[in-house]
Structure 1
């Protein structure tokens, strides 16, 4: 990927590359633990949320995070649920068209936020089944943290 802001095509390629063979409770715990570990390494003041369907499977709030991060998580997660794509990709698509999500989506910005940090959990043969979301850093860094964790998670040996 290029330096700077990723393009729409680069973000689409990330999502395709990070499709999982399966995703269950143990996977949510492992991915959540990996995100906590990566965030702690950089002293990132983030909250982390992993959901499958309507069920919250993992949540962690690290030092420096607040309830405001949970509100951002909900808003970014709703974008993934509605569009089936990462919140960063959705916002980037609008910016690539010369507008913003807030100006052109016709969705309530108190309910939806197309800011980086929420990524679809897609399973081979099933499509998008959930989301993994981070809030607390600038949007590009929230997104990058989730992508890094998913890359490491998918690189682990499967049992």
Structure 2
């Protein structure tokens, strides 16, 4: 495994450890989704944004340039978070570090699961993973970075 990949994995693990909500409800999903829309609109990013709590979709937006294909990618990334309890980017980077890919050897169908960046677990203190926030439409590292940026802003304000 390369030092760069090791460093990236450690960075994502640290993000997941500290990006934890004190609570998460419909209002928080709306605020987080609205922030993501605002950031993406200002930057003219062609993304779809999705926030779920369990199986319930709490927020969804498709910005100019996003397509139905982005929604399919969202579904596949969300399944990875729920299956592995980690961001889709972290799962993909851990697999890459081992020279593996997501597939039958892990008990999943790659047509239904995508270990590509952009889906991040919504964690609540004392409850664990209760949902997923996802961005699709950019290269995977950029999808992941946009979600992390918004989470850092929201969780910082939620902790106040």
TM-score by length of 1: 0.93
In the other structure, the counterpart of 2:93 is 92
How many matched pairs?
158
**More moved, 3-12 vs 80-89:** 3-12
- Confirm or deny: 8 A CA contact 1:36 1:60 kept in the other structure: yes
Mapped contact 2:87–2:121 kept (Cα < 8 A) = yes
Mapping for residues 118-129 of structure 1, pairs under 5 Å: 118-129=119-130
1:5: how far off? 8.8
2:117 is matched with: 116
- RMSD of the alignment, in Å? 1.9
1:122 and 1:128 map into 2 onto residues whose CA distance is 4
- Larger deviation: 63-72 or 99-108? 99-108
Residues 35-46 of structure 1 mapped to structure 2, 5 A cutoff: 35-46=36-47
Q: Is contact 1:121–1:131 with CA below 8 Å preserved after alignment?
A: yes
1:138-149 residue pairs with structure 2 within 5 A? 138-149=139-150
Kept after mapping to 2: 8 A contact 1:80/1:118 = yes
In structure 1, the gaps of 5 or more residues are none
Q: Does 1:105 align with 2:106?
A: yes
After TM superposition, the score normalised by the length of structure 2 is: 0.92
